Structure 1
Amino acid sequence: MREYRNARQNKRAQQHSVSRFQPAAKVARRPQAVDLKAIARKAMLKYAFEPTFPPAVMAKVNSLDGSLPQRAGSQVRDMRGLLWSSIDNIDTEDLDQIEYCERAHDGEILIRVAIADVDAYVPKGSVLDMHARINTTSVYTGIETFPMLPDRLSKNLSSLPPGKDRLAMVVEFSVLQKGNVHMGKIYPALVRNKAKLVYEPVGAWLEGKGPMPKAIGDTQGLQAQVRLQDEASIRLGKYRAKEGALELETLEARAVIKNDQVLGLYVAEDDRAKRIIENFMIGANGIMSGFLESAGIPTIQRVVRTPKYWREIVEFADARGFRLPAFANAIALSKFLDREKIADPERFPDLSLAIVKLLGPGEYVMYDKRKPLGHFCLAVTSYTHATAPNRRYPDLIIQRLLKAALKRMPSPYGKSELMEASAWCTDRERAAKRVERFMTKAEAAVLLAGKIGQIFDAIITGASEKGVYARLLDPPVEGKIIRQAKRIKIGQKVKVRLANLDPKNGFVDFELAGNRPE
């Protein structure tokens, strides 16, 4: 518990020691060299992250001989013979989970999710653990990734790369034909990833828009395996939607960077491959949360509280001709979102963003059976984060709790420590998102260098007392409208002129180009 307090104190000290970013200033029209890596590290320090690993951490990592940690052999199942695979981004190396499905009786599909056993390398209280609990999350800035754990662990020893034997915690559950889930099993296992697949080509293939990915064609049985995973995912998704899970679609632009140069921005689109992983992870997280809850073990849950701005959501929907009930109701809100997506798919991401802001952020809390909070957006009562222990500290905590519960050993965490950890991890997650958003703006400003004065098509993404924001249609850069018109609304199409850029301070400013919003 002391460590979390020390981390907060260090955070305050660093925030005072690092100068605040200065207000935006007009920059010269001639593009100037910008050191994005230096900007990223400055942003990390501003938000009290440690951007580098101390010598003691690196010494410990370098001392590891690369062999599998010792585990009680009789308890570890050898599941290397199953056709495990991963689906992730093309450049992802910190592979936290792999998946495998098989058909079962009565039309059920048995899903297994193997999660990297990070705790085996990062035991509680070790020098690696003490540092991981400071940042609590990997931070992705585009120009540079600041991992929670050193690369030799997160991208190698505690990752699940193809062709390597690895220890894992397996979560097993069945999906019925209607999409509901039967409580399954959790156990340690020895696994081997047979193929590393990539979202976009797998998604295009499943949707009939592209050829079969080479990795699938080269691996015997993998075509049928991925299609079975897709079938299970569709079942899960339909059931979640029926229960009131919200289908929100926000656009998050990411920089395309090569040799430290910003080449463009892209927005990753949803596809069936991404939904496989999303639905499987939601299922696995729910199983693990329910297991700890039913065992009566103090644990951390991931929650989105019942919206306190529900009245504003009701008014938002009413302005669009849809009546929501006076009290928060996820199923009703889900129906409104479905209608809006069908009616205007182009503007739906910006409508989604407005709803997300009114719903409020997710957070980590210690579970209290007297006051269960649940996850409003997912329409579930028991949920946690436990499928990415290389990248998120709460997931590592849950992994340790599960191990103790399975061995019927005392919990490694007391209630007070879990409360401290929940608050600190929530704080760090929000800070990480601020760093990532800031760097997206900085990288966008670099991309637009030399284009001040040019006119772009845009769409209004935010309108409040804090200001009006717009996103260019191409490239998908978001910025503030510094001289704005009245009666402007989210989703309106406008033409804007690029007015100011300040990469060092993450500012992109527009002004309306003399037109009336559509």
Structure 2
Amino acid sequence: MGQDSISANTLTASGVYRARVCNQAQLAYDAIAEWLEGRAPVPDAVHAVAGIEAQLRMQDHLAQLLRSQRQAQGALEFESFQPRAVFDGSRIADIRLQEHNRARQLIEEFMIATNGCTARFLAAHGGASLRRVVRSPERWARIVQVAHGYGVELPAQPDGSKLEGFLARQRRLSPVSFPDLSLEIIKLMGSGEYVVERAGEQAIGHFGLAVQDYMHSTAPNRRFPDLVTQRLVKAVMAGSPPPYSLAELAELAVHCTGREDAVRKVERQMRKSEAALLLHDAIGQHFRAIVSGVNAHGVWVKIFTPPAEGRLVGEIPELRLGQLLQVQLISTSVERGFIDFSLQRSQ
């Protein structure tokens, strides 16, 4: 959507215009990432289109500049546990973790930059918009306590740069348990939401991305808030009245936030059921695992191959988050997405 100028790691200008997407190469994330990271030759799909190799190299360079700028401003780098089913026809053949690689970073940074440009475009033309926000954490005191447990002192007031420093330290020191720490901090930060913001108002911003102006605008083919934004932009460009009143936008903000929460619940349930289905024939087998959750409701563990999470049942001694264990698969329920393990006792 935007034609941007980047100088000294700073986005200095942007333009908004109508365009049609024509996919000439149909590139794949993993193949492009292996090439950009120097682990594979240039993919055939890149060779097939003249000039695309230089274009991708330039885009990768600019994306890393944008990424460095956000990190300097306190953008938070999490690592989530995202297993994805691998199908052989209609049969689940495996489950693998989705890698956050260089190609995904390229798309992510350009989307963040474009969404910011779109938000500022609508604000500059005096219109209301549907912003995507993550507020400054109200449970910051609890985040401070978590960091203290790792020997790190965070300031009393929310500070994205300090929090990212803590996360980077733990990612380096304990990469195996870092996804579980990431999830704990994400929960304490609170969910994102859609809100209506009008030109001239103080923007709430997105704490996790360390950006002040942010909205969803780059995927109108699969996400309704992006379609709303596209309609707002097109109305401005055509000099037409806004397609939504403030009251309608406010109602849409609440509706879209609720639907997004529901989608996340369905996705989590599907991932659990996929894992339960794959592991059903492995009941009785033993696995290497790590403690991924300890609370009043029980103890959860993650096994590494295949990557899956389940509950620890039976007699359980005192365990700590991140502790490595040997467990035995006891039962699965595909319908409920339940996977139960027991602690393997020393012989």
TM-score, with normalisation over the residues of structure 1? 0.65
The Cα of 1:466 is off from its aligned counterpart by 3.0
Partner of 1:481: 312
- 1:497 paired to 2:299: no
Distance 1:286 1:484 in 2: 52
Partner of 1:277: 107
Distance 1:415 1:461 in 2: 44
**Does the residue aligned with 1:282 lie in a helix, a strand or coil?**
helix
Distance 1:272 1:302 in 2: 24
1:389 corresponds, among 220, 223, 235, to 220
Q: How many equivalent residue pairs?
A: 345
**Does the residue aligned with 1:171 lie in a helix, a strand or coil?**
coil
Distance 2:195 2:283 in 1: 46
Deviations 1:344-370 (A, max 9, x none): 222222211111111111111111554
The Cα of 1:467 is off from its aligned counterpart by 2.5
Distance 1:484 1:294 in 2: 62
Amino acid at match of 2:133: V
Q: Is the 8 A contact 2:25 2:48 kept in 1?
A: no
**Does the residue aligned with 2:3 lie in a helix, a strand or coil?**
strand
- 1:216 paired to 2:17: no
Q: Show structure 2 runs of 5+ residues with no match.
A: none
- 1:205 paired to 2:29: no
Q: Is the 8 A contact 1:459 1:491 kept in 2?
A: yes
Whose relative contact order is higher, 1 or 2, with alpha carbons under 8 Å and at least 6 apart? 1
1:356 corresponds, among 177, 183, 186, to 186
Q: For 1:172-211, what aligned pairs fall within 5 Å after superposition?
A: 172-176=3-7, 178-211=8-41
The Cα of 1:203 is off from its aligned counterpart by 0.4
2:146 corresponds, among 316, 327, 347, to 316
Deviations 1:394-448 (A, max 9, x none): 0000000001112222100111111111111111111111111111111111111
Amino acid at match of 1:506: G
**Does the residue aligned with 2:23 lie in a helix, a strand or coil?**
strand
**Does the residue aligned with 2:164 lie in a helix, a strand or coil?**
helix
Q: Is the 8 A contact 1:351 1:490 kept in 2?
A: no
- 1:261 paired to 2:65: no
- 1:450 paired to 2:305: no
Pair 189,463 (structure 1): closer, same or farther in 2 beyond 3 Å: same
Amino acid at match of 2:97: V
Partner of 1:380: 211
Deviations 1:33-74 (A, max 9, x none): xxxxxxxxxxxxxxxxxxxxxxxxxxxxxxxxxxxxxxxxxx
Q: For 1:34-53, what aligned pairs fall within 5 Å after superposition?
A: none
Partner of 2:119: 289
1:469 corresponds, among 274, 297, 300, to 300
Amino acid at match of 1:372: A
**Does the residue aligned with 1:463 lie in a helix, a strand or coil?**
strand
Distance 1:271 1:203 in 2: 6
Q: For 1:407-426, what aligned pairs fall within 5 Å after superposition?
A: 407-426=238-257
The Cα of 1:224 is off from its aligned counterpart by 1.0
Partner of 2:76: 246
Partner of 1:367: 197
Amino acid at match of 1:400: R
Amino acid at match of 2:268: R
Q: Is the 8 A contact 1:351 1:491 kept in 2?
A: no
Amino acid at match of 1:180: T
**Does the residue aligned with 1:504 lie in a helix, a strand or coil?**
coil
1:302 corresponds, among 108, 118, 132, to 132
Distance 2:297 2:201 in 1: 38
Deviations 1:368-388 (A, max 9, x none): 554532100001111001101
Distance 1:484 1:323 in 2: 36
The Cα of 1:464 is off from its aligned counterpart by 2.0
- 1:460 paired to 2:291: yes
Partner of 1:152: none
Partner of 2:177: 347
Distance 1:248 1:398 in 2: 27
Distance 1:373 1:467 in 2: 37
Q: Is the 8 A contact 2:280 2:331 kept in 1?
A: no
The Cα of 1:190 is off from its aligned counterpart by 4.2
The Cα of 1:293 is off from its aligned counterpart by 2.0
Alignment root-mean-square deviation, CA: 1.5
Amino acid at match of 1:254: R
Partner of 1:60: none
Distance 2:297 2:11 in 1: 44
The Cα of 1:483 is off from its aligned counterpart by 3.3
